Structure 1
Amino acid sequence: MTIQELHQHFLDFKLVSTDTRKISKNSIFFALKGDNFNGNTYAKEALSKGAILAIVDEKEYANSKDVILVNNVLTTLQQLANYHRNYCSAKIISITGSNGKTTTKELIHAVLSTKYKTIATKGNLNNHIGVPLTLLSIKEDTEIAVVEMGANHKKEIAFLCSIAEPDFGYITNFGKAHLEGFGSLEGVIEGKSELYDFLTTNKKQIFLNADDPIQKEKLGNYIQKFGFSTTLSDYYKLNLLEANPFVSIQVEDTRIDSQLIGKYNFTNCCAAIIMGKYFSVLLPNIKEAIENYVPENNRSQIIEKEGCKIILDAYNANPTSMKAALENFNQIKEDNKILFLGDMFELGSSAYKEHQNIADLAEELIFKKVYLIGENFSKTKTKLSTFNSFDTLKVYLEENAVPKNTSILIKGSRGMALERILDLIQ
């Protein structure tokens, strides 16, 4: 079966499934493989639960007319997504960067949805499987699709661009994330800039933060760009009014008061604003979209509990985002501030140095109490309280309650699951 023929089947119901636990009736089931599972073995189950076709790549499972044998299921999924992307008329905006991708994507989606039929990546499904699934969620009446792209090594963004073929792109920033895969900050810059490479080669539109020297230098004299700046007159002027703790922005004669904390969210809001302006969204609608956006899923959430004001930023962490979070928390005008910081993952040989840097910064700034959690933080040379695991922290807090009427920042990599600390504040 050709990709074109498979696409004709897809158009009947426009549904795909990759997990029999969440199968959609009348969907096409793609029997993907993982480190601990073989989707081929679930093809029969998928059909019994309502799938109209199952795509497999092992001959022994192609035992009925509803099972299609291909050379590689994942490649077929990616090819179908690319075919569908070109079949539809939607414009594709791709977002990548070291920090803030998901928040920026959601803000852009909120702004553009006020005028256009817009879809966006769900959650953080931003890899070689998630991007194809996002593209396959595009409907015939979709006008704009905001596609988040993640990467932890070079050539990955380039590959995702070959599938999505974006018309527009924006890089949030270049930071010390996934150093284990990229090797260095220079490797991060090279890897993330693969989005620029695709867009410039194909003469597509780029959005940029012109105050970021790396972005400004990388794009040089490239003409098809539209950016924002707090100082440069050649770009759309946006100003940060305050971030104590919520970000407020001056846009022309309008003040936008977001529900996002930290100066680091200023540029995320700015990206959504300039895309709104580029796509002719009215400023009152941009303002309303940004002011109504409330972060969730452990991303800079504000939670009130037992008299404490808690900033829960436990979705992910790397040295760049951790430093920004600490500096922002330090500037918040509160007397009693407590830090819970969890290990940062995927740093490779840089792990000890980067954790020591964060421990030194936390010790240098003025906080009432700092708790460092995880194997890496427990190896640092510091006067701060260290715990080699969440369980040891739990035992400590059960005997030493967190004081009431304090401000608390909780930040760490996803694998640390530091949102569990909420249950210990009582």
Structure 2
Amino acid sequence: MKKRALLKWILRTLARKTIQKYEPLVIGITGSVGKTSTKTAIGVVLTHKFNTRFSQESHNNEFGFPLGIIASWSKKELKLVSKEEPGGVRRIRKVMFYATAIGRGVLSLLFGNKKRYPEQLVLEYGADKPGDIDYLLNIARPEIAVVSAIGKVPVHVEHYENPEAVAYEKGKLVSATKKGGKVILNYDDEYMHAMSSRTKNEVITFGTTEGAMMRFLNVKTSTNNLIPTGITFDLEYRGASTSVQLKGCLGSPHAYAAAAAAAVGVALNMKLAEIAEALKEYKAIRHRMEIKKGVEGSIIIDDSYNASPLSTRAALEAVKQLSAKRKIGVLGDMLEIGSYATKEHEVVGRHASDALKIIVTIGTEAHHIVEGAIKNGTPKENIKSVETIEEAENYLKNLIKEGDLVLIKASRAIGLERLVERLTLKEKH
């Protein structure tokens, strides 16, 4: 057995045994966009009332998933097993980390006190390819299943036959929900009805459309001297309503995450008022519509973590609603969407044309964004295409002025978080 396969087997076995010993209530989240924000919002809400464990990082594969069951880890520790972490000396640290994880898992199984283990685990189920959900379900089946959103053209669709196959894979979480559990579905997603037919358990829906059980309305951006500071909206559920304030984040995706969390909260007998109070502690996850102070008195909207057609349109719509002297967008490739790439990048270009004054593109597919923007009326002189992060940085540092708002978004592999770092104002300590 190869080392990687052996490690997977050990982690899976320890995680399964841990679930069997401590019997926590498992809340599972999947979807093509918004999984980590939804998981975090749920964790924030439930921690307000219960002993709950959740990770704010996107560790949702065959390695990160069992680690979250075995023990609680710091961000520094989890960074050692992230995909971005380089080799060399850190490879030794990674080996030491896994040795520690295995040791902690064994000790917990032998001597752990059930009262000290969390009552609830909020776990993220990732699926880059067919079969991934099955692997994770073999470790832990949820009592409550949450599907954030799939979208018309989901991320990773190039690894599947079609978008319906992606939805089918994600829907396995719904089918696997334990008898008597709850299923939380996005009422605005086109796959909601197909998902709901895959369970006999109670379904609670969330969204903006009339008919959603947990409905959010009147999403507004809070500002201070034209600088965005967060969003507010109203939540309605079975005749009750409350106002919600989320600080330091922008856009409807965060409202969707909060509404999904509220649906989980009411499923566990929490009241809307205490859910709204708990959500005051919710903060945007790194690189997901984060508001940052930029160079030259600009505002950076950092959405560089990943990009899909659905999330990119949502980001552009959020920017469109804001006031700024100029709105600039740095848009890169949306990867892993296969044969849909040309059309979807052109569509993004049209949306960008409506939302932005100046468009900067980067990536091999980005010329389709340019084509869409020009077709929609953006002057060619307001579009700049670059090939590297350094070229983008040099262009933007000469362009950005006080009062500008800059949206930065692309798939993870493009690496635009490095551009965010270079354009963000460094805080003085």
Per the TM superposition, whether the score is higher than 0.5 is: yes
Paired residue total: 356
Aligned residues of 2:289 and 2:315 also touching (Cα < 8 A): no
The match for 1:244 among 221, 226, 236 is: 221
> Does the CA-based 8 Å contact 2:316-2:355 persist in structure 1?
no
Deviation, 1:161, is 1.2
**1:270-328 CA distances to partner (integer Å, 9 max, x unpaired)?**
01111112212343331222122121421211112332122111111112211121122
Q: What is the alpha-carbon distance in structure 2 between the residues aligned to residue 376 and residue 391 of structure 1?
A: 19
Q: Provide the rounded CA distance (Å) in 1 between the counterparts of 2:417 and 2:297.
A: 18
Q: 1:348 to 1:106 in 2, by over 3 A?
A: same
* Selected match of 1:415 from 401, 413, 416: 413
1:330 and 2:320 aligned = yes
Q: Percent identity?
A: 30
| Equivalence for 1:370 | 359
**Matched ranges for 1:316-395 at <5 A:** 316-363=306-353, 365-378=354-367, 381=371, 382=374, 383=380, 384-395=383-394
- 1:227 has 2:205 as partner: yes
Matched, 1:156 2:122: no
Shift of 1:147: 0.2
How far apart are 1:215 and its partner, in Å? 1.2
Which secondary structure does the structure 2 equivalent of 1:225 belong to?
strand
- Contact kept, 8 Å, 1:362 with 1:370, in 2: the verdict is yes
**Given residue 182 of structure 1, which amino acid in structure 2 is its aligned partner?**
Y
**Whole-Å separation in 1 of the counterparts to 2:321 and 2:174:** 34
Rounded Cα–Cα distance in structure 1 between residues aligned with 2:351 and 2:157: 20
The answer to whether residue 276 in structure 2 is matched with residue 311 in structure 1 is no
What residue number does 1:274 align with? 263
Alpha-carbon shift at residue 232 of structure 1 (Å): 4.9
Question: Quick check: 1:172–1:268 contact (8 Å CA) kept in 2?
Answer: yes
Counterparts of 1:321 and 1:231, CA distance in 2:
18
| Number of the residue aligned with 1:258 | 246
State the distance in 2 between where 1:182 and 1:247 align.
Answer: 36
CA distance in 1: counterparts of 2:193 and 2:312, whole angstroms: 24
Name the CA distance, whole Å, in 1 between partners of 2:348 and 2:274.
39
**Alignment correspondent of 1:209:** 186
**Cα drift, residue 187 of structure 1:** 2.1
Describe the shift of the 1:265–1:377 C-alpha distance in structure 2 as closer, same or farther (beyond 3 A).
same
Counterpart residue identity of residue 388, structure 1: E
Tell me the distance in 2 between the aligned counterparts of 1:353 and 1:230: 27
Amino acid at match of 1:280: N
> Which secondary structure does the structure 1 equivalent of 2:191 belong to?
helix
Partner of 2:94: none
Query: What CA deviation, in whole Å up to 9, does each residue of 1:305-357 have, x standing for no partner?
Result: 33212211111111221112112211223342111112222223433333233
Task: Write out per-residue CA displacement over residues 102-144 of structure 1, whole angstroms, 9 at most, x where no aligned residue.
Answer: 1111111011001111001351110011111111127733100
TM superposition shift of 1:404:
1.7
CA change 1:333–1:312 in 2 (3 A) is same
Q: Which moved more, 1:384-393 or 1:86-95?
A: 384-393
Evaluate the alpha carbon distance shift between residue 285 and residue 135 of structure 1 in structure 2; reply closer, same or farther with a 3 A threshold: same
Q: Distance in 1 between matches of 2:251 and 2:264?
A: 21
When Rg is computed on C-alpha atoms for both structures, the one with the higher figure is 1
The match for 1:27 is none
Residue in structure 1 matching 2:121, options 145, 167, 182: 145
CA spacing shift, 1:237–1:142, aligned 2, 3 Å: closer
Deviation at 1:160, TM superposition (A): 1.0
**1:231 positional shift:** 5.3
Alignment-mate amino acid for residue 147 of structure 1: L
**Alignment deviations for residues 66-101 of structure 1 (CA, whole Å, 9 cap, x no partner):** xxxxxx331232122112111112100000101111
How far apart, in 2, do the equivalents of 1:404 and 1:261 lie? 20
Paired residue for 1:192?
Answer: 170
Question: Does 1 or 2 have the higher relative contact order (CA < 8 Å, sep 6+)?
Answer: 2
Alignment of 1:6-25 (within 5 A): none
Rounded to whole Å, the distance in 2 between the matches of 1:248 and 1:295 is 14
Q: Does 1:110 align with 2:41?
A: no
1:301 aligns with 2:297: no
**Runs (5+) with no aligned partner, structure 1:** 1-30, 34-56, 58-71
Mapped contact 2:333–2:411 kept (Cα < 8 A): yes
1:97 paired residue number = 31
Query: Following the alignment from structure 1 to structure 2, what is the Cα–Cα distance between the partners of residues 122 and 262?
Result: 19
Amino acid at match of 1:254: T
Name the aligned partner's letter for residue 412 of structure 1: A
Question: What amino acid does structure 2 have at the position aligned with 1:338?
Answer: I
Supply the distance in 1 between the matched residues of 2:214 and 2:19 (Cα, whole angstroms): 34
With 150-159 and 204-213 compared, the bigger mean Cα shift is at 204-213
1:209 shift after superposition:
2.5
1:179 matched to 2:157: yes
Cα distance per residue 1:154-177 (max 9 Å; x no partner): 221122112112111100011321
Partner amino acid, structure 2, of 1:117: N
Segments ≥4 residues shifted beyond 6 Å? none
CA deviation after TM superposition for structure 1 residue 213, in Å: 4.0
Q: Separation in 1 of the partners of 2:273 and 2:20?
A: 33
Residue by residue, what CA displacement relative to the aligned partner does 1:196-245 show, whole Å, maximum 9, x if unpaired? 12127x55321123343421343148342223355556x63433222326
TM-score, normalised on structure 2? 0.76
Question: What is the identity, as a one-letter code, of the residue corresponding to 2:389?
Answer: F
Separation (CA, whole Å) in 2 of partners of 1:393 and 1:229: 37
